[in-house]
Structure 1
């Protein structure tokens, strides 16, 4: 499928200091506020979805990352705690938590709202393990939405499920029938959905879609309770052969035309080089405001890990600043060794 066809089917909206994180309300979930890449043998509360989407950690609490719409109309991942029955699947439970006015609506943090139409039920959910494909079958109520919400619904479902272990593709069905396009505004679904669909799409001014490259970035925003969280943005930029380097340059450029999003990097940061080897992306930065031994801004370092793993598909990121890798951030996280993307983010105080 031509992904630019998907990118076109939406209305594109034609020196910052970051807030200090409030204690107890980390951008990442509780277990991920520990070292991002915990040492092997760590027996902490890290959650992983095994068994190809089957029942996981039945009992009083399993962390799920689902995508809700924030008060600014942007989709953002939110980590919630859910009780899974012995036969319940994590993916199905996550989707049920995304239904407007559903039985789990009280689990949604203040400032966020569900995106699936009221009354929607998940009547079928299956993961085809060897294809890394999730097939979700919604009830007819899924089709009862406004055209302007169509893309957000598709993005939220896709990004929620592909954030889970062993799921890279999604198919949407309604009442036992596969959808080849969304029922209201015709967003094409003729091939399985992946994260290539993008999220919270925006474009540089004057961009030619057919000559563009999408990069997914992470900026920060603040809840009504002054808790900081990350928002992913897929930005269309002029075509480039070095998508990873371009993504960092866009992070440095900051949000476009938005008063709600805040930059995670300052303009005095320069991308010197980005290389990829053995499933590791190495990012070399020149940062005039940084001296060896200082703590680098946590928001900058975390956003780099998120953006690099998102745009390269690699598992780990090594960050060097001014030629040095012995870097710690303001959360005392060490980056002397390559770090992995955290499994959950945006966990808010209850």
Structure 2
């Protein structure tokens, strides 16, 4: 024994039971010199304020060790009552010791639990041991002054909080278990995963559609380019052909105009008006045909950028009269009033 504890040793079971000054006796302190063993039924123990007597055989062991219960829950440093709402979540719908279940959103993953044992025989000597399976690796043993345990920033998942109590005589209770679940944030849920897949699928579809559209447009552009180049080449071939023909026609027309002009000059002295008009008609149409050939050549020069605009003053009335006279013979043959 010492000033605070008295020990009882069983030589058969070799167990040692300690009785503290607060184990129900009326002494605040034991006196190591005030001890008297009278017989197996009487033992006297002195203290600071008196003497007590007891029988060592009648000392009993407190076998009552009930399961501990959770007496207080705090979430985000706020006390939780039944029906309390924290960050938009109703934490408890009933007593946690009935459901043995606690579900918290990811925004409420900081919480603390306070537990106690309904054993009131020398309660200050009770001890507790707890573990949070999924987080703690070993059991943690504390006394009555450390009955609150706090957990912060736990990962989302399922945990099991287990706690057991030991009474003043060293008897452990059964383990009390509580299921605790931390819900994942929205971006870690199946809904977020499905939405992400949907967005990726939509983006893939749009990108694929855009790529296909660009490929089609590029093919159309290439086809238009090939067609345009082919048309330009065909037009150039046509112009080259007409230019060559025009050059070939220009020489005979020049050769026709010379004799026609000479016939007109020679016919002035003959006085034959009908024959003179025929010579003039040949000369006018040949000259007009030569002008048309020259226009074809000028058009070719204009496309190549070699032709420059030259503005001249002319008699439009004389030009229209010449055109009119070119069709007089045709009108007379067809008996048309021209």
TM-score by length of 1: 0.21
TM-score by length of 2: 0.21
Quick check: which has more Rg, 1 or 2? 2
Q: Compare relative contact order (CA 8 Å, sep 6+) and give the higher one, 1 or 2.
A: 1
Which of the two has greater helix per residue? 2
